[in-house]
Structure 1
């Protein structure tokens, strides 16, 4: 199944640190449940394949210095949505992978198979203090902890076979103990015996997103490059799915994209995130995404101000892509894996009969 996936980042008020100044609600409502539901429902109604939710144990840089845990946000909107994939960031550095596995499996149940996970590193030593862990030094240690965490989380998802739950009330048997498995992982930072405390998720394995350095362990590589040619080159080098990350600032009826950025930067300059940048008309963005669809598997868009850019995306950009057949709305009742063209994986521990 060939797909071109459309993802959107919905953390805070937008990717710009001054985005809160242009939000369509008071700052005090930024982290409220109704505000979150409104944004995610708007993205779902627009036809986005998945929404992501940034997170860190450390406070956000710039803007409003508060956020609710990303897995909790995704789980909260699960019952209020039906087709859009819900993909929180969960950092692997210093965190306990057993808890990460349980939280994400629960998200997959609450969303009926629409869960995903962006596995992220954190290099700031303040995170070690927050977790009460010794500091990891250098990229090698961060990469090793990331690899170990993904290995443990994926193994725990498989530690229950699909038919391990019996629920035979007449005999009083509710589990087949032979279909629960120890994972027996012993690493440098942690050891995990297992099995999990949550049965195997509906998707078997949630969709795992990561960086180019994680390509051997993830389902989707998120490509962060500052120019189009480099992004396409990196995406085509991936054996699996590769999505290009793009910062998006669009013209609105009130101001051009350049004017909007200039106004925001007067309050607080945006940090350089080394992502592909698009600033301009909705027509130009449609053309860019159409070009990327020829060589890549999808995109994750970072709207500069969600309340201003998401309506423009919903009204002008996604409809044009759907009409041209470049992208398609998620199929109702399908899992996130299904909407990305991924099959449900076999359980690594299941006996082959």
Structure 2
């Protein structure tokens, strides 16, 4: 029997600058039990800072994961990791970080420090930033804070570590300026459809998003990611791969247009007939009703080609409401998606263990050798 689906949704509202406007949709997604919501961001378009907005959303929600896009280009890795760790503390362990790069010359000119680089170089730097962030999150071991008023000791110096990390474009000494985040490492999310980003996802991501228009394409991308993760020494079962779909639910309960929504199914098996999402410049687009979307999700899940779905509403408020009240409710009724949160952190929603602290493990190993 296959495990339950993992479901997520985007909160993007182009042209909206009021941070409070994102609270209602986040609560709606939480009412549906979604694992997490994402909020996109870039230097190339106007809009509020995604991480700051979700820091505002955090106190207004209780369980749902909060995943802003934070670019690794033109930014200080030390500040990036501290900002993401702050969101994890503010949300009590519900933070994620969607890793992205800034590839255009227009974005580079905003900073004026260097010209735009190749995708290969940018994603190599992104991988190094993800690695440095994990080391900085580990730089305070659990229990490093003593807070002993009688002795005046605030920290156990043996449990706080310099990271001394050197990448191709930066170096970080450390340690971090704050204790280890509640999740140990906030969840790292990467859109892994393209080759350069796929390597970073296989090596560093907890969740990989893939833009696939067919079950075969989704299965191929998932298999390649899992193989790469294993080649990097990771357990491929610790990587969640979600299909990212644009969804236009403007047709309400009516059947999807031929060639747009779900194909005909029999016992979870696709019978063909030209159904399924259509490729667009923004990625695969499903257009139809929430019931047909539930049929598509059910069929892809039955084929075992994905761990779940990340939905990007075309019309934010309308489509998210129909997604939660229609598609998600139907999947819950079929026993394919949970009806309550089993834990309080995003790692628990995704079924991922809290990572061990690398410095604590090294210290324990050294102590064991010294005692032998």
Fold shared by both chains (TM-score > 0.5): yes
1:311 pairs with 2:330: no
SS of residue matched to 2:358: coil
Q: Distance in 1 between matches of 2:332 and 2:256?
A: 24
Unaligned runs of 5+ in 2: 193-197, 227-235, 261-278, 368-372
Offset at 1:271? 6.6
Q: Distance in 1 between matches of 2:280 and 2:135?
A: 37
Q: Which region of structure 1 is more displaced relative to structure 2, 211-220 or 245-254? A: 245-254
The answer on whether the counterparts of 2:255 and 2:292 sit within 8 Å (CA) in structure 1 is no
- In structure 1, the partner of 2:92 is 112
1:131 pairs with 2:111: yes
TM-score, normalised with respect to structure 1: 0.85
Unaligned runs of 5+ in 1: 14-26, 60-65, 262-269
1:243 pairs with 2:252: no
Alignment deviations for residues 285-320 of structure 1 (CA, whole Å, 9 cap, x no partner): 001111232421121100110121111112211111
Q: Structure 1 residues 299, 45: closer, same or farther in 2, change over 3 A? A: same
- In structure 1, the partner of 2:276 is none
- In structure 2, the partner of 1:229 is 216
Q: Distance in 2 between matches of 1:31 and 1:143?
A: 29
The answer on whether the counterparts of 1:252 and 1:312 sit within 8 Å (CA) in structure 2 is no
Q: Distance in 2 between matches of 1:100 and 1:248?
A: 31
- In structure 2, the partner of 1:179 is 159
Of 343, 348, 352, the match for 2:353: 343
Q: Distance in 1 between matches of 2:163 and 2:244?
A: 34
1:146 pairs with 2:126: yes
Higher relative contact order (CA 8 A, sep 6+): 1
Q: Structure 1 residues 344, 253: closer, same or farther in 2, change over 3 A? A: closer
Q: Structure 1 residues 280, 271: closer, same or farther in 2, change over 3 A? A: closer
Of 49, 54, 60, the match for 2:40: 54
1:40 pairs with 2:41: no
Of 280, 288, 293, the match for 1:285: 293
Q: How many residues align?
A: 321
SS of residue matched to 2:60: coil
Q: Structure 1 residues 235, 67: closer, same or farther in 2, change over 3 A? A: same
- In structure 2, the partner of 1:213 is 199
1:163 pairs with 2:173: no
- In structure 2, the partner of 1:24 is none
Offset at 1:332? 5.9
Alignment deviations for residues 18-47 of structure 1 (CA, whole Å, 9 cap, x no partner): xxxxxxxxx7xx321331111111111122
Offset at 1:85? 0.3
Q: Structure 1 residues 161, 39: closer, same or farther in 2, change over 3 A? A: same
SS of residue matched to 2:8: strand
* RMSD (Å) for aligned C-alpha atoms: 2.2
SS of residue matched to 2:203: coil
Q: Distance in 2 between matches of 1:92 and 1:242?
A: 22
The answer on whether the counterparts of 1:251 and 1:282 sit within 8 Å (CA) in structure 2 is no
Q: Distance in 2 between matches of 1:254 and 1:281?
A: 5
Offset at 1:233? 1.9
SS of residue matched to 2:212: coil
Q: Distance in 2 between matches of 1:186 and 1:172?
A: 34
SS of residue matched to 2:37: strand
Of 252, 276, 281, the match for 1:272: 281
Q: Structure 1 residues 48, 225: closer, same or farther in 2, change over 3 A? A: same
The answer on whether the counterparts of 1:3 and 1:340 sit within 8 Å (CA) in structure 2 is no
Q: Distance in 2 between matches of 1:330 and 1:100?
A: 32
Q: Structure 1 residues 271, 93: closer, same or farther in 2, change over 3 A? A: farther
Offset at 1:128? 1.9
Q: Distance in 2 between matches of 1:129 and 1:138?
A: 15
The answer on whether the counterparts of 1:12 and 1:67 sit within 8 Å (CA) in structure 2 is no
Q: Distance in 2 between matches of 1:133 and 1:339?
A: 40
